[in-house]
Structure 1
């Protein structure tokens, strides 16, 4: 949904002109999901104003330490997934849920530093078969960090992942 639609929905709800159900119907949002989504927008707006209502242009960077801090706060029972997302400016409570799930499954929540230019570009250059083998080996040896691999070898994200997935 556009920024304009989200802003309108939040305005209608906060001014008590319409309920979340009525707003969801007007925006052609399906059933319970629609009502819940409207209330999520309202809570996000109340916590972080327009930042949450705008559409993200790229993924956010979260350090390993930050993820661990948020997970520990959740596990200590101090806050819900939703309140932690709002408190720390995380766009979705599902992001916090994934971090907690990884932690509980003993999977490392690594640093994440997005390189949108790597994900968004088409192949930057043609690669030979021997180059692709070298790229795949590097990727495997560096914890399957496709983004880092693509940036290092000046190739697209798709090129850095394609060979590995076929091995």
Structure 2
């Protein structure tokens, strides 16, 4: 949480007035545990990678279909919601605008693909997938805020990326974080 809290000083215009402090509940382990228990009471828990993002996916060389060759970095595995890794991929891998535009179609694609493994009938409804997504979102996306805060530091101090694109990269990350914070704020009523 402390790293995510630095976003308030990185961009006070977007994150000021205690905005990150106000979503501290999404970083609370007991809240995450309660939401996870509720989620896996609706759909049996699955093994969640918990750090699913493109840097932990190795792609097959010269693959015409961009096939994943391997997924690495399994030290954070846990039993959790079917939505957890989906949320992690979407929040880490997409801009705010693109994520909001594409989330529904990706959830539908996931559900349709899963149904193919079960003779055309997924083991849960789209409605349940949406419920899981909304229930788990604050606790799956909070780590993204931590990562974004670190990436902003690395871009700002020149540790990462091209110095000419520093401002552009930081602006995009702030916007991505803003979208996550807005979504967590909107879901607070559920908790």
TM-score, scaled to structure 2: 0.23
Higher relative contact order (CA 8 A, sep 6+): 2
